[in-house]
Amino acid sequence: MSGQCFEYFWQDESMMRPRVYLDHNATTPLCDAARAAMYAAMDVVGNPSSVHAEGRAARALIERARAQVAAALGADGAEIVFTSGATEAASLALAGRNLAGAAVEHDAVRAWTRDSLAVDASGRVAVSDPASATLQLANSETGVVQDLPEGLAVSDLTQGFGKLPFAFNWLGIEMGFVSAHKMGGPKGVGALVMRRGTDLAAQLRGGGQEMGRRAGTENLVGIAGFGAAAEAAAKALADGVWNSVSVIRNILEQALDAEASKTIFVGKDAQRLPNTLCLATPGWKAETQVMQMDLAGFAISAGSACSSGKLRASGVLQAMGYDASVASGAIRVSLGPDTREEDVLRFAEAWLKDYRRFAARAA
């Protein structure tokens, strides 16, 4: 996957230096395969529900993308329902079910569930009744990966899709959902995947598109890009791209850990996404760190992109037992396939420079 579209520059002491994008868990650069597929789909004029030749051509693109997403998810034989994103897919799967969840889940899940599942200090969640529960595959803030129990009702697969090797057909869960823009595809498109024959009531009703699961004319361009991105992501995963990313993440973690004695590296002893580093420095506000790094030419975040800017302590870290001082000082650095070792070492140099100033003031 190419991130060349993010090769933009920042004026730094009269020298032009490229900005470094380290917020891939929020959204990823559009990969070349997705861009090409979207350009091609723009020239397909037909409505996918029309029966004439133009409509059939549009329908063929959607069904090709459905097969690509299913193959990347390891969901051959399952049903793929395209939506406007993971948030809509979550509501389609969860509305009216009153499932048990945990406080580490994304807000799109917590809007429909009860925070009744216990979270331990490592971020792992215990599930006693899988059929009545939802559990994410991986956390967007900490990167902590869960073991999904057999028979689980619903899982947020969004952050793990394309980064972790798994197959929906092997997980033994009823439903899962994903988003295109978290793995090289366009924003505004996602999917719900479910075992064939699963009973599900449509939330958007009208023309009966998507096998009656989700009405509305399909986002042909976005779906085509999603399919191409899913296929490219599956190939990159098989080629070991994320193993290389993990090595670079660990280099960054070691560089920071060697000096930042006041900083907590969240989830360090748990299985994590290969690209994610969550670090919390008590008393050093996360929003301050984000702004300082932005000015230095680095894009990072304070927790989930959907909650960044709300100036609140991380609910995920608080659910793990950290106090507000720690939770309000947590930032997330998330790498991508194009992140280089020199990028993270530059980040470490810039962050540690500001860390020293904070530590000196706090002493």
SS3 140: coil
Amino acid at 130: P
Amino acid at 74: G
Q: How far apart are CA 334 and CA 299, in angstroms?
A: 10
Burial 153-173 (b: 16+ CB within 10 A, else e): bbbbbbbbbbbbebebbebeb
- Token pair 């280099």 in the structure block, residue: 251
- Give the number of other CB atoms < 10 A from CB of residue 294: 13
Active-site residue, 306 included: yes
Q: Give strand pairing partners of 178.
A: 191
Looking only at the bridges linking them, the beta strands covering 190-194 and 79-83 are antiparallel
Q: How far apart are CA 10 and CA 362, in angstroms?
A: 30
SS3 19: coil
Q: Which of 238, 229, 242, 236 has the alpha carbon at shortest distance from 68?
A: 229
Using the Cα atoms of residue 192, residue 195, residue 200 and residue 206 in order, give the sign of their dihedral.
Answer: positive
SS3 281: coil
Catalytic residues: 306
